Structure 1
Amino acid sequence: MNYTIQLPASQKPLSLADLLEKQWLVPRKVRHLLRMRKNCLVNGAIAEFHQIVQAGDTLTVILEETDYNYQPLQLGQAKNVKVLYEDSHLIVVDKPAGIKTHPNEPGEKGTLMNDLAAYLAPSQSRPYVVHRLDQETSGTLLFAKNPLVLPLLSRLLEEKQIYRRYQALVKGEISRDLTITKKIGRDRHDRRKRVIDPRGGQIAVTHVEVFSHTPKESRIFCILETGRTHQIRVHLAALGHPIIGDPLYGKQTAPRLMLHAYQMSLKHPFTEETIEITANPGLW
């Protein structure tokens, strides 16, 4: 596949070798193959790796099928995919509640990733997981469409440069905004669950913004600073305000877990355009 990228106005001059290695995080093996095959073009001409590239240059990277490992997927139903944003490198979809993000076993079907693979198949693109949502959670979910952009999106996530805002309906009254910083670890007695673990847990930070509240329930927004498994669910349950409909950390008192990944924003790794996505209608 050929991937063509125009370097943004903010791009500082540097060698093609440094761009691929340090800025785009292309693995050493792939860089070697690109150089040996002469599979990098700058402004339409075969490029040498010592060549200087700069703002406005157009780079074409030609990747062969065997350059990256890819786990084959069973194709699902393309019609099930609701696209919120898409370009040639990444796609954000609105995940329904009750469906898994991706398969856990070879040949597994019925996940969002299976449906997305079917949706992307006509364009010869493939989905690559950047982050996940719990099976019970709905809303914005980001995938890479090629292996070139995947490490860049993963770096944005790791460096907390992908803004994620969730809606949640919780039990009881939360009357003011707050930040939860309780460490989260594994539950030794139930492999499905996570627990608050002040000594051995991982740092976890959740910011809570109150939308409305009554003595019985509260509508809140949660903004993730970290992305631990079940983070919002564990943090809110630890405060005595479990998410309504949570079968693991509360009670199944609603048809679904009332948690929705409502908004996402990020800076595009190649164009530096700010992308803002909202998954309407959400929970309210």
Structure 2
Amino acid sequence: MTPPFDPAQQQASTVCLPPGNWATVLDCLCDHFKAIERAQWLDRFTRGRVLDAQGRPIAAELPYRRGMRIHYFREVPNERPIPVQETILHVDEHLVVADKPHFLPVTPTGEYVEQTLLRRLIRRLGNPHLVPLHRIDRHTAGLVLFSANPQTRSAYQRLFPERRIDKHYQAIAAALPQHTFPLIHKSRLEHGEPFFRMHEVPGQANSETLAKVLEKNGELWRYGLSPVTGKTHQLRVHMAALGAGICNDPFYPQLIKEDDDYQRPLKLLAQRLCFADPLTGEQRDFQSQLSLDW
């Protein structure tokens, strides 16, 4: 069931109306977003889900004006519930740290809007200013940091591109006795086909991962993975490239087109985040309460 609309607890998408010859804002939006039917846009206008630059609901008959800034709320009709539950590990004036379960997206994308970690936390904490400071993909579980205060957000955002935060993951995959650990794997990653899959290509490396073995259990090993860079699906691609795709990975090394199997999650966990707080200098060390079983 879609929760009641509360503009204070949801984040709107924004569009500046492009040049054209439309009579109304509705006409422009229908033509600009061809995948959304006119009836659906009319319903959004009626329920106050299309706003002007000041956040006030507007009428579908409002005359079109080039460059007008419009806010609207993405919706997915009959959005499918995701039967997993996140855990909030830390809340203060500036930071929120959550343990994300497998299968839950961090932010709205595609067929997921309300069933995302961001929307769930906004509703739970009543803070519409939450913004994720980094991403982990939907299939990965573990720690995600959120900025809770726009005034201090940039200080925390800089931690990632400036590489002032240590990220530690765990993964379970096939044994790799042919390699000597610890090892560093570097490669150039680019988007492939389909677009959401990454692949290694010739050229200067733009991704780097430190891998070590934490535990051996017959044909499966538990690996500690520390990404130096933060490319999409980096750890998943690098492990597949080493010859041990992470257990239950639906994308690598082969694409498996199946519905989510909640009994077979990807064996990848964002387990620990360490950094010096940019505001206080205090050493922060957050650890996931989740674990990967064999």
Q: TM-score, normalised by structure 2?
A: 0.65
Tell me, in whole angstroms, the C-alpha distance in 2 between the residues paired with 1:106 and 1:173: 37
What letter is aligned with 1:89?
H
Query: Is residue 212–residue 219 contact of structure 1 (8 Å, CA) maintained in 2?
Result: yes
Query: Is residue 209–residue 221 contact of structure 1 (8 Å, CA) maintained in 2?
Result: yes
What letter is aligned with 1:161?
R
Query: Is residue 173–residue 215 contact of structure 1 (8 Å, CA) maintained in 2?
Result: no
Residue 162 (str. 1) matches residue 171 (str. 2):
no
Tell me, in whole angstroms, the C-alpha distance in 1 between the residues paired with 2:72 and 2:131: 10
| Residue number among 277, 284, 287 corresponding to 1:275 in the alignment | 284
Cross-structure match for 1:236 = 239
Query: Is residue 99–residue 290 contact of structure 2 (8 Å, CA) maintained in 1?
Result: no
* RMSD (Å), alpha carbons: 3.0
Query: Is residue 73–residue 117 contact of structure 1 (8 Å, CA) maintained in 2?
Result: no
What letter is aligned with 1:112?
L
What letter is aligned with 1:198?
P
Cross-structure match for 1:103 = 108
Secondary structure of 1:182's match? strand
Tell me, in whole angstroms, the C-alpha distance in 2 between the residues paired with 1:96 and 1:87: 22
Query: Equivalences for 1:1-284 in 2 at 5 Å?
Result: 80-104=85-109, 108-121=113-126, 124=127, 126-174=129-177, 176-187=181-192, 189-199=193-203, 203-214=206-217, 216-250=219-253, 255-284=264-293
1:166-191 Cα distance to aligned partner (Å, 9 max, x none): 0100123356211111111111x211
Question: Judging changes above 3 Å, is the alpha-carbon distance between structure 1 residues 137 and 166 closer, same or farther for their aligned structure 2 residues?
Answer: same
1:30-70 Cα distance to aligned partner (Å, 9 max, x none): xxxxxxxxxxxxxxxxxxxxxxxxxxxxxxxxxxx99xx99
Query: Is residue 73–residue 107 contact of structure 1 (8 Å, CA) maintained in 2?
Result: no
Query: Is residue 142–residue 271 contact of structure 2 (8 Å, CA) maintained in 1?
Result: yes
Deviation of 1:250 after TM superposition, in Å, equals: 3.7
Tell me, in whole angstroms, the C-alpha distance in 2 between the residues paired with 1:280 and 1:250: 28
Query: Is residue 170–residue 219 contact of structure 1 (8 Å, CA) maintained in 2?
Result: yes
Tell me, in whole angstroms, the C-alpha distance in 2 between the residues paired with 1:282 and 1:71: 38
Query: Is residue 237–residue 253 contact of structure 2 (8 Å, CA) maintained in 1?
Result: no
Deviation of 1:107 after TM superposition, in Å, equals: 8.8
Deviation of 1:81 after TM superposition, in Å, equals: 4.0
